[in-house]
Structure 1
Amino acid sequence: MISYTLWGPRWRKVLADLWGNKLRTLLVVLSITVGVFAVGMVYSAYLMFERDLDASWRSAVPASASLYADPFDQELVDSVRSLRGVKEAEGRRNVDLRVRTAGGEWRQMFLTAIPDYSRQKVNRIKSQTGAWPPGDGDVLLERSSLAELGVAQGGNIQVETSDGHKRTLKITGTVYDPSQIPSMFSGRSYGYISMDTLEKLDEERRLDQVNFVVEPWVLKGKDTAPIEAVGRRAWSKLEQGDTTVFWLQVNKPGEHQLQSIMNALILLLTVLGILSLLLGTFLLVNTIAAILTQQIRQVGIMKAIGARRDQILRMYLTMVGVYGVLALVIAAPLGALAASMVTGFMAQVFNFDSGGLELPGKVLLLEAVAALGVPALAAVWPVWRGTGITVREAISDYGIGSADTQGRLDRWIDRLLERLKNVSRPALLSLRNTFRKKGRLALTLLTLTIAGTVFMAVFTVRSSLYSTLDEALDYFRYDISVGFTENYRAARIEHEVLRVPGVKAAEAWGFTSGRILQSERKEAEDDASKNVIILAPPVGSKMIQPQLIAGRWLVPEDESALVVNTETLKDSPRLTVGSPAIIKIGTRKLTFTVVGIAKSTMTGPLAYAPYSWFSGAIQEAGGARSVQITAAAANPQEQTELGRRLEEHLKKNNLRVQNVDITWEQKQRIRSQFDILIVFLLLMAILLAIVGALGLMGTMGINVLERTREIGIMRAIGASSSTIGRIFVVEALCIGVLSWLFSLVLALPVAALLSYEVGVMFMQSPLTFSFSFWGVGIWLVVSVLLSVAASLIPARNAARLSVREVLGYE
């Protein structure tokens, strides 16, 4: 081992500076560590996402597209498989029913029957534990549903069929379905049964979903248009088999269906991670500048005995390098561990297999650049400026950090302070000292201001997300929606619903799906838009409140009138008020006149037609497939109980119920999905706040060192320890409050921009902007607490200085 005494004088000085002020070294290392940790964690998590999500998704042989329709036979699946461009096609049957959880609650469940589990070729599910395949009367639960139901393998679940019969299914195993949206997002549980079990659930032994994979030559990169073209031909095949198709779901080639959400989340975290790194460098710049100011005489002495500027420059940059190395040693393993935890959490949320802890070489390289390169670049200017002093200037310095040159700002502050007659002298000194080193103050304020701005912006994004959700659900002004497996007479539905105590009002609506055509030509069917859902509420309905941006709403004298939402216009931009709209519904082509355009609110492509005319046009006069209900009680729990009573009553009266959706439950489920995003953004905002607090602590520590002689003078004229300590605490509070004010000014535009980008990334449309004043108030409290906490150690150090110590200070 090389002895300390054998080191060169310059390197012994570097070590002495690092070890001699351990608090300063710790603050700088921690500030760099936070930034390096954030960058490493985000990049490592991104690589793990990319690795694990892609592997899980590809293992399922995901469908290029899926069609959902009324029940049909295997022959139609074979006809889809025979289409040009289709490589493979398979059919399934889905049953939407109620399941009783371990806690006694009734929730929606999706049971899927697969004709042959041993020959799956599309959207393959994989056995995890227990039996394979499911036997007659058995169910295999999707692994993401176990926690939702609170059950375990070997137990039983009780389900209620659309006819109202209760059946018990034995849980004989668990499976993994990478193509399924996790239960946390969908609000439904998933299970897999045999075709034989369908009969026990009062369902036909038929199919209602076809998944197909296109030939490789069909694909054109990530473009979904070629798949949509094949999907429209498959849609026509099913319609020729006398079945009604409701939906065409197209997947982007080679991409998980939730990939865009995760990519957007990673992008936001990356921006905040880079911000953390940059803010950490501000503390480093402040610290290096203060060290050089404090060591001006030492620089002069080194130059006097022959040291060159480049040698002194290397010495201080080496110190910066040591800070970076220490930060890298701490941040690299912590970043990998945090990335593994984040990936594990996201794997559970988004239902994919996590590959576990990994620290790739390129992540370590990026962290090394962040820990060594960025701080070194940031320190070059203050080091270059500090080492440029001449021997004469250095020797004549008194060792006290002089204030910046008096300028207009200083004179204005002095005049303002002179008017504060009732403020104590120590408080006035704190206020004046706040602006003493304006360059250092600017960097400290910048750090805290960015942290505060991001914090307030995150709260505003949360508020905007909730406002968008409230606006979307307020669009449809009902408390409960009941869907049926087939059409029933509207009068019968409403009569039965109104018989249930607690129902205030009920409206039966028509419902179907179609495709908007470019023209009436036969060839136009292959050029049709994506599917559009058509709702037919009674004219004058009080249960829908569309926000019209052009034209008008439906009126009683309307016949072939149509109102489309803005989401529909994305696929059919030629539709305007007054233009014709040709929609293919089943084998029929109906010509409408667009009379209005409504704003989309998280609903997808929708069109609205007058019930009386529309139900006759599709030969379902007087029929309906859903009913919207307003509850007499506003209490959420009472509405849930009403939904259950409605379901039981309708089933007892031979109405086959497919689903019952409670509006407030939907709102809570979607909010919980939003909260995942908010939690991640808040975690990064907290990291920024930590960097800001470290920066403020470092600034206050430097201020104490520079004002050592001033503290001695105050001591000599009788100032107490508590008075000196309060001077620095109040100064930190001034900086904290100033940063809060600047954050408040910047938060509005930044929050508006962030809300817009989050809306576009996650919902394909801007959020309804709602500024959060809660965020403003919370950050004020946080700023005060951070300022006090950051000033305690420097204030304590200042208060403990004795007159003898400060008079001997150089």
Structure 2
Amino acid sequence: MSRPRWRKLRRDMALAWGRTVMMVVAIAAGVTGIGAVLSANAIASREISRNYLGTAPAAATLELDRVDAALVEQVRARPGISDAQARATVTARMRIGPDEWRGLVLFVVPDFDHLRIATFTRESGAWPPPSGTMLIERSARDMVPSGPVEVRLPGGESRTLTVSGTVHDPALAPAWQERAGYGYITPQTFAALDGGPLDELKIRTQATTQDGITRTSRDLAAWLRAQGHQVHEVQVPPPGKHPHESQMQALMLMLLIFAVLGLVLAGILVATVIGGMLVQQIRQIGVMKAVGARTGQIAGLYAVQVLLLGLAAAAVGVPAGTLAGRAYADVIADLLNLDLHSRAVPLWVYATQLAAAVLVPLLVAAVPIRRAARITVREAISDYGVRPETVSARLTGLSRTLLLALRNAFRRRARLALTLGLLSAGGALFLSGLNVAAAWQRTVDDGMAARHYDMEVRLAAADPALVERIRTTPGVTRVETWGRAPTTAGDVVSTYPDGGHGSFSLRGVPEESRVLDLPVTSGRWLRPGDTNAVVLNSMAANPLPDAKPGDMLTLKLDGRASTWRVVGTVREIGSPATAYVTKTAFEQHADPARDLRIATSDTAAVQRTLRDAHVESATLATTELREAIDGHIFVLIGALIALAVLMAIVGVLGLTAATGTSVVERTREFAVMQAIGATPRTVLKVVLGETVFIGVLSWLAATLLALPLSWAIGNLLGDLAFRTSLPLTLSPLALALWALAAIAGSAVAGAAPARRAARLTIRQALAYV
């Protein structure tokens, strides 16, 4: 029995080579998606940890009034401290054009040859950088002008620095994302720029947990204050975690869910095709049973066929998934400023892909295989194909050809549901990807629209005369003076060394401000006369997760505590955690306001005014802010859409398989139609009408299914990026594209089976068994 059995298996696969290839392609597509996400995640997770921990990141950073070598030695001897080093970080500005400046974060390193904490590696140039020069982070090459760079510290004079080489610091986000430069200089160069003393104390602790590090840092801060030092801020970022690690893991999980859904769709496609093939061979199964074949033997025969399909798909999908995963890991590395020391994919990823390629189709196909294998000889021999359906019989008022197409679509309700589910799921993923992209665009557009100003200028000191001078600059329509000061919700903050991730600031808003119009999500906005009221933006949920209107909270500014009542929360896109208070209240607790928000049609003219006034300032255009926001997410959106396209292809293949099966089942019916006068053109119309109808139904179902899916993905992505959900958005472009793809894909899917049915002669159709 073994040789005839396997001979039949080989012949079945050879005769149905088109379906065989289609199933292999579908499974391989699912395996490729799974492999790409798992491989990229495995590589990126390993390398992000290796890169970040390789810098020996500081467990905590304490900002003091002054740090010298003697103090560092004393701190090293303190209980719980394993090492300490002095540093300084200052945000300067550099000239990038005649009237254009850009932010430059300068890291002052006293000893380049003995880096032990927050290290970075040399890539090119002199080490350490000679006096009057700076090393730049490699990702800042496009942010920093080539040749001599004019640099100015807050309150200092302009000086020229030369770029003497590059370094790699994987603890920092790429400079092109932050729209700023990163420079590394010696204390001698810092002094030449009119810089002050080193004021950062970076420590590594024996404790490794957040709570343990926080306790050690608090004890050290108390000791430093007892020694007469001013402790401005204590920063304890999440231990051992890159600033973007949590976001990367969450996004990878979302992509993995998409990929798994794709593999499940491929498995359903296999079940559909195998089910159709079993329907075609139902009489053969009856004959095999009549000559002694057992149910288990028949089920095993078709299970082996599915197993072989899975193995063939794995042979294609595993290498393709690995290559795609490595390519995506390269993109992630560029996005996170990492070096990939190894692109090796763990063995468990290969094992998972192989198991998925074999087991998922086998499990899904088990249902039709079991049903067909258990059929009795009498049922198999008496099978005559499709059965009439009462639902479609109620369809009236249509042309005969269209009516016949619709009735044919409803004959096999289970198959129709399966095919619709397959195509609709692929379409829903496709629509969700584009809907989320549109929601992101809309959210950022709304966030930018809430800013009725074009540039922000940060002055070294308040200067009312300059404000009036800028107000009369051609193109300027409005100038407002705002207050800004770093603050903390306790005595420890989670700010990373770049000063941006995890930061929290207090902003003083002019009473009659018109340059910011943020939507209120709870409570109210500030009112003139508010003296202790505070409004929190979306990102303030990080340091203050439970704050709500009516709560009292304590904020510290330069170590001084102040009490405020929360009166509202607002939705703000593109800003770090911020607490808004009135300008009057701000100046009761902090230095006078010195940030300018300017609405102008000519930012270059404002830059010239600042230059002519010899004013030290840092400027940020809203266009640069927009580029920084979009730079964080475009890779994810691209991956989401790529996976969605794969799923849509699987859905179209499923429709092709279902249509082919339906045509085989109705072979004799087509003979009867032709015998009573139907032309081949009529047969062609019937089959194509059926597939296009299913395509239209799938478009409607995909649109409905995409609503909750887009909402869920938007919530996840919005919370990661802005701590607020993205609005549910239906992209007209996505709907139009999927309508076109569904109709065109269904027409293509039905074309080959329709032509085959139309070419059948009456004799061929009646002779079919």
TM-score (norm 2): 0.90
For 1:333-732, list aligned pairs within 5 A.
333-398=319-384, 401-403=385-387, 405-407=388-390, 410=391, 413-416=392-395, 418-420=396-398, 423=399, 425-484=400-459, 486-489=460-463, 491-516=464-489, 532-549=504-521, 551-565=523-537, 568=540, 571=543, 580-599=552-571, 601=573, 603-618=575-590, 620=591, 623-631=592-600, 633=601, 638=602, 642=603, 644-657=604-617, 659-716=618-675, 719-732=678-691
Superposition deviation, residue 249 in structure 1: 4.5
2:27 & 2:347 partners in 1: Cα distance? Answer: 20
1:573 & 1:325 partners in 2: Cα distance? Answer: 49
2:386 & 2:526 partners in 1: Cα distance? Answer: 76
1:232–1:528 CA contact under 8 A, matched in 2:
no
Identity percentage of aligned residues: 32
Superposition deviation, residue 182 in structure 1: 1.2
SS at match of 2:633: helix
Task: Note the residue ranges of structure 2 that are not aligned, 5 or more in a row.
Answer: 496-501
SS at match of 2:756: helix
For 1:270-309, list aligned pairs within 5 A.
270-309=256-295
1:276–1:687 CA contact under 8 A, matched in 2:
yes
2:736 & 2:581 partners in 1: Cα distance? Answer: 47
Which 10-residue stretch deviates more, 543-552 or 693-702?
Answer: 543-552
Partner of 2:705: 746
Are residues 718 and 72 of structure 1, via their aligned partners in 2, closer, same or farther at CA, if it must alter by over 3 Å?
A: farther
One-letter amino acid of the counterpart of residue 389, structure 2 = Q
2:764 corresponds to 1:805: yes
Are residues 266 and 589 of structure 1, via their aligned partners in 2, closer, same or farther at CA, if it must alter by over 3 Å?
A: closer
Partner of 1:156: 147
2:62–2:231 CA contact under 8 A, matched in 1:
no
1:68–1:209 CA contact under 8 A, matched in 2:
yes
2:381 & 2:278 partners in 1: Cα distance? Answer: 14
2:389–2:411 CA contact under 8 A, matched in 1:
no
In the comparison of the two structures, how many residue pairs are matched?
760
1:60–1:179 CA contact under 8 A, matched in 2:
yes
SS at match of 1:624: coil
1:535–1:608 CA contact under 8 A, matched in 2:
yes
2:296 corresponds to 1:310: yes
Superposition deviation, residue 172 in structure 1: 3.5
1:515–1:528 CA contact under 8 A, matched in 2:
no
Superposition deviation, residue 697 in structure 1: 1.2
Are residues 760 and 238 of structure 1, via their aligned partners in 2, closer, same or farther at CA, if it must alter by over 3 Å?
A: farther
Superposition deviation, residue 736 in structure 1: 1.0
Superposition deviation, residue 685 in structure 1: 0.9
1:66–1:211 CA contact under 8 A, matched in 2:
yes
2:24 corresponds to 1:29: yes
Superposition deviation, residue 613 in structure 1: 4.4
Partner of 1:9: 4
2:208 corresponds to 1:219: yes
2:64 & 2:191 partners in 1: Cα distance? Answer: 19
CA offsets per residue over residues 576-623 of structure 1, 9 Å max, x none?
6566544332354434455545456554432233323432444x4xx3
CA offsets per residue over residues 692-745 of structure 1, 9 Å max, x none?
011111112222222223333444555554443333222211111101111222
Match among 294, 309, 315 for residue 329 of structure 1:
315
SS at match of 1:441: helix
One-letter amino acid of the counterpart of residue 501, structure 1 = P
CA offsets per residue over residues 768-810 of structure 1, 9 Å max, x none?
4434343223221221222223223323333443444333322
Superposition deviation, residue 625 in structure 1: 2.7
SS at match of 2:593: strand
Are residues 588 and 796 of structure 1, via their aligned partners in 2, closer, same or farther at CA, if it must alter by over 3 Å?
A: same
1:344–1:356 CA contact under 8 A, matched in 2:
no
SS at match of 2:334: helix
One-letter amino acid of the counterpart of residue 97, structure 1 = R
SS at match of 2:167: strand
Match among 26, 37, 46 for residue 42 of structure 1:
37
One-letter amino acid of the counterpart of residue 382, structure 1 = P
Superposition deviation, residue 297 in structure 1: 1.6
CA offsets per residue over residues 108-139 of structure 1, 9 Å max, x none?
43333311111111111101234322222333
Are residues 235 and 389 of structure 1, via their aligned partners in 2, closer, same or farther at CA, if it must alter by over 3 Å?
A: same
One-letter amino acid of the counterpart of residue 677, structure 1 = L
CA offsets per residue over residues 134-188 of structure 1, 9 Å max, x none?
2223333322223556x8xxx6253343579776544433211011111242122
Aligned alpha-carbon RMSD (Å): 3.2
One-letter amino acid of the counterpart of residue 436, structure 2 = V
Superposition deviation, residue 95 in structure 1: 4.0
1:336–1:357 CA contact under 8 A, matched in 2:
no
1:515 & 1:332 partners in 2: Cα distance? Answer: 49
Partner of 1:173: 165
Are residues 584 and 173 of structure 1, via their aligned partners in 2, closer, same or farther at CA, if it must alter by over 3 Å?
A: closer
Match among 50, 54, 63 for residue 59 of structure 1:
54
Are residues 73 and 543 of structure 1, via their aligned partners in 2, closer, same or farther at CA, if it must alter by over 3 Å?
A: farther
Partner of 2:499: none
2:214–2:492 CA contact under 8 A, matched in 1:
no
Task: Note the residue ranges of structure 1 that are not aligned, 5 or more in a row.
Answer: 1-5, 518-524
One-letter amino acid of the counterpart of residue 706, structure 1 = E
2:397 & 2:101 partners in 1: Cα distance? Answer: 69
SS at match of 1:211: strand
Are residues 581 and 366 of structure 1, via their aligned partners in 2, closer, same or farther at CA, if it must alter by over 3 Å?
A: closer
TM-score (norm 1): 0.86
1:451 & 1:13 partners in 2: Cα distance? Answer: 34
2:705 & 2:635 partners in 1: Cα distance? Answer: 25
Which 10-residue stretch deviates more, 788-797 or 377-386?
Answer: 788-797
2:489–2:555 CA contact under 8 A, matched in 1:
yes
1:513–1:532 CA contact under 8 A, matched in 2:
yes
Are residues 263 and 589 of structure 1, via their aligned partners in 2, closer, same or farther at CA, if it must alter by over 3 Å?
A: closer
2:5–2:301 CA contact under 8 A, matched in 1:
yes
2:380 & 2:740 partners in 1: Cα distance? Answer: 43
1:136 & 1:717 partners in 2: Cα distance? Answer: 97
One-letter amino acid of the counterpart of residue 666, structure 1 = L
Which 10-residue stretch deviates more, 261-270 or 568-577?
Answer: 568-577
Superposition deviation, residue 672 in structure 1: 3.5
Match among 756, 761, 766 for residue 725 of structure 2:
766
Partner of 1:113: 108
2:182 corresponds to 1:186: no
One-letter amino acid of the counterpart of residue 323, structure 1 = L
SS at match of 2:594: strand
One-letter amino acid of the counterpart of residue 537, structure 1 = V
1:93–1:114 CA contact under 8 A, matched in 2:
no
1:493 & 1:85 partners in 2: Cα distance? Answer: 50
Which 10-residue stretch deviates more, 79-88 or 301-310?
Answer: 79-88
CA offsets per residue over residues 264-307 of structure 1, 9 Å max, x none?
11101110111011101111111111111111221121112211
2:299 & 2:376 partners in 1: Cα distance? Answer: 14
1:61–1:121 CA contact under 8 A, matched in 2:
yes
